[in-house]
Amino acid sequence: MQKFIMRPYRAFLLRYGIFLCACLLAGCSALRLGYANGDTVVYWWLNSYIDINEEQKPWVRQDIERLFAWHRKTQLNDYAQTLGQIQQRLQHPVKPEDVTQEYAGIRKRSMVVIDKALPELTRLAMDLQPEQIAHLEKKFASNNEAYRKEYLRGNLEDRQLFRFKKVLKQAEYWFGNFSSEQEAQIRKASDARPLDNEIWAEERRRRQQELLVILRKIQSEKPAREAVSAMLRQYIERSFENFTYAEHKNFFDDTRAGSADMVAVIANVATQEQREHARERLQKWIDDCRSLAAK
């Protein structure tokens, strides 16, 4: 459920740190398989952004493997407990503030992983070469072009329908198929959210440019490790908010509130049978978390 209120922005440092939390939030139907191969997925994802060189490959792989081992031992049982609480909550009417509370929990758990990974993130940032930062900049440009083609086309109605279909697909993963009447209620709640993909495109660019500035500053000025760590953590914390918040405060505030309202609508229009579907889905995740934690 929480994914409905998480905007899909993830700069490479943020993704490197919170991928493990995202495994539980991405709607993956094969959690065990995805988690078991997560270290490889993270490595190749990271490599696509910075083109890891031969000297970096061994210790980057080891850092990722150690992070997954720590995460399995220390975090998965907590996730199982949280998912169990969501199971119970879905048996009762869901309020928007419940959804907001869940998002706060996601952020808190993500920062636990970030803080664990921060020494390794710092080492990697300090070791990046100019050509790797240039590679990252090109990757950002490619991603932005893909975003433009997907999200900046069509009129307002086209964009609302596109967004609604994504929401419905996620909702059906949890609750199963909805009736036309239920879909109409979900569509109304989806359309009630502010929609301005140009603002999100600007947010993406600002986020990317600030990261590039930080990495180039680290590469050229060679600051102390403690200073680098502080810069990265501050950047990651801001990534949970919005870099353009000051310019678009009302838009971001209304988006968060509208998204929480929409999630509450989805949960509350569900029939008892659909809630049972969600309960069973969550139970599979709970079982997977406990099984993985026991290994």
Cα of 205 vs its chain's centroid, Å:
17
Q: At what angle do helices 156-175 and 180-192 cross, to 10 degrees?
A: 130
Helices (H), the chain: 12-23, 31-36, 38-50, 57-74, 76-89, 96-127, 130-151, 156-175, 180-192, 197-221, 225-239, 249-269, 272-294
pLDDT score of 117 more than 60: yes
pLDDT score of 111 more than 50: yes
C-beta contacts of 189-192 below 8 A and 24+ residues apart: 189/258, 189/261, 189/262, 189/265, 189/266, 190/160, 190/163, 190/164, 190/262, 191/160, 191/164, 192/258, 192/261, 192/262
What is the mean pLDDT of the segment spanning 12-31? 41
Q: How far apart are CA 166 and CA 181, in angstroms?
A: 18
* Mean pLDDT for all residues in the chain: 87
Residue 123, pLDDT score: 95
Residue 240, pLDDT score: 83
pLDDT score of 133 more than 50: yes
Q: Are 138 and 212 in contact (CB under 8 A)?
A: no
Q: How far apart are CA 60 and CA 58, in angstroms?
A: 6
Q: Are 203 and 242 in contact (CB under 8 A)?
A: yes
- Tens digits of per-residue pLDDT, 232-290? 999 988 888 889 999 999 999 999 999 999 999 999 999 999 999 999 999 998 998 99
Read off the pTM: 0.86
- Tens digits of per-residue pLDDT, 27-50? 343 456 567 788 888 888 899 999
